[in-house]
Chains A and B, each alone.
Chain A
């Protein structure tokens, strides 16, 4: 059974810092991995999608990497801003025919960027 772990559980940084959020998964047979952002009282916003054949994806100040063999992904946020404060969730879509589209989520990292 796939399990996804995110470290750290919470992170507080001053504005302008570069930071890394970590995601690990127990079964390396994944189809893809998606990073989401969740703001309080709001839904999940997709940030980056990495297919199993890819090593990284970039969008603006965000860069996500994937090392499937070691079961790890990192989300790098450059020059953090107070508006980046949110909960960041990592979700894995397993390969194989029995997952039927299910995403397995980590518990999330609560990020606070203070001015």
Chain B
């Protein structure tokens, strides 16, 4: 089944403890991206990757890092999480940045930072 898989689905952590949210797609998509969803603010792009080893900032990149060493994986790294990073996170992928065939989203990771 073609899909984007995120892990973990739920995570509660403490301020300052480094964490990684994994994202993997099995569709050979070039483009991958991370979004966060917050009440009243909707979904906002954090980082994106046009291809392997090519990443760039989205609208809200502060406090996050990403890497794209393989086409299928695009982990989101929070080096020192803070409570304002409590949010619902989504990974998405597309065949290309043009999104000609649309975007596929993962099931989401609900992160709580205390």
Q: Report if A101-B99 is in contact (Cβ < 8 Å); known contacts: A42-B107, A43-B106, A108-B42.
A: yes
Q: Report if A34-B42 is in contact (Cβ < 8 Å); known contacts: A101-B48, A101-B94, A102-B48.
A: no
Residues of chain A within 8 A of B45, CB atoms compared = 102-103
A93-115 residues at the B interface, CB under 8 angstroms: 93, 100-103, 105-108
- Closest residue of chain A to B91, judged by CB? A43
Q: CA of A46 to CA of B99 in the docked complex: distance in angstroms?
A: 13
Interface residues on B, range: 20 to 34
Residues of chain A within 8 A of B48, CB atoms compared = 100-102
Q: CA of A34 to CA of B43 in the docked complex: distance in angstroms?
A: 14
- Closest residue of chain B to A103, judged by CB? B103
Residues of chain B within 8 A of A107, CB atoms compared = 40, 42
Q: Decide if A31 touches B105 in the complex (CB within 8 Å).
A: no
Q: CA of A49 to CA of B22 in the docked complex: distance in angstroms?
A: 27
Min distance, Cβ B10 to any Cβ of chain A, angstroms:
9
A interface residues, tally (CB under 8 Å): 23
Min distance, Cβ A4 to any Cβ of chain B, angstroms:
8
Residues of chain B within 8 A of A89, CB atoms compared = 43
Min distance, Cβ B107 to any Cβ of chain A, angstroms:
4
Q: Decide if A32 touches B90 in the complex (CB within 8 Å).
A: no
Residues of chain A within 8 A of B92, CB atoms compared = 44, 103
Q: CA of A43 to CA of B6 in the docked complex: distance in angstroms?
A: 10
Shortest 6 CB-CB contacts between residues of A and residues of B:
A101-B97, A43-B107, A44-B105, A49-B102, A105-B43, A93-B99
15 contacts between A and B (CB under 8 A): A41-B110, A43-B90, A43-B105, A43-B107, A45-B105, A100-B48, A101-B33, A101-B50, A101-B98, A102-B33, A103-B35, A103-B103, A105-B43, A106-B42, A107-B40
A residues near B, CB below 8 A?
31-32, 34, 36, 41-46, 49, 51, 89, 91, 93, 100-103, 105-108
